[in-house]
Structure 1
């Protein structure tokens, strides 16, 4: 079963949609799903990846509402059936 990304703020604008389905499924990693997303929607690559292809430090990646970079195994977190992924750009305010 495919995995769905929810994109927020300008990431949704760059991708052209707030919801993007990718081919990654249970057993794949968050990194696999991110690669599928960037391949499918290259306009967001510059916003989420560095020139070296690494995730930008200010981007938050959530799996089922949990930040995988803080509370799980980062981009190597393994996907399970029905997972929902989300990408948040840096949030500024004041």
Structure 2
């Protein structure tokens, strides 16, 4: 289960990197995304946060590492989700 989920997280990260480098957006998201840079960053952060949370489930962290990984994973995930929402609004500049 965690191997498939980790693959999904890596696909999110690579989709974000492709969006940042080329401006490419998935066909099912093209109608709603108005700003590709925050969208690409949001995918990278969301995928990275989910990978941190998957790492907590896959390995047994020692000491305070569990709290740090959970905190970092949740912060990255929430930041990515916020950026994905921001990418749906038009640019003011």
* TM-score bracket for this pair, using the shorter chain length: under 0.3
TM-score normalized with structure 1 length = 0.28
TM-score normalized with structure 2 length = 0.28
As a proportion of its length, which structure holds more helix? 2
As a proportion of its length, which structure holds more strand? 1
Which structure's CA Rg is the greater one?
Answer: 2
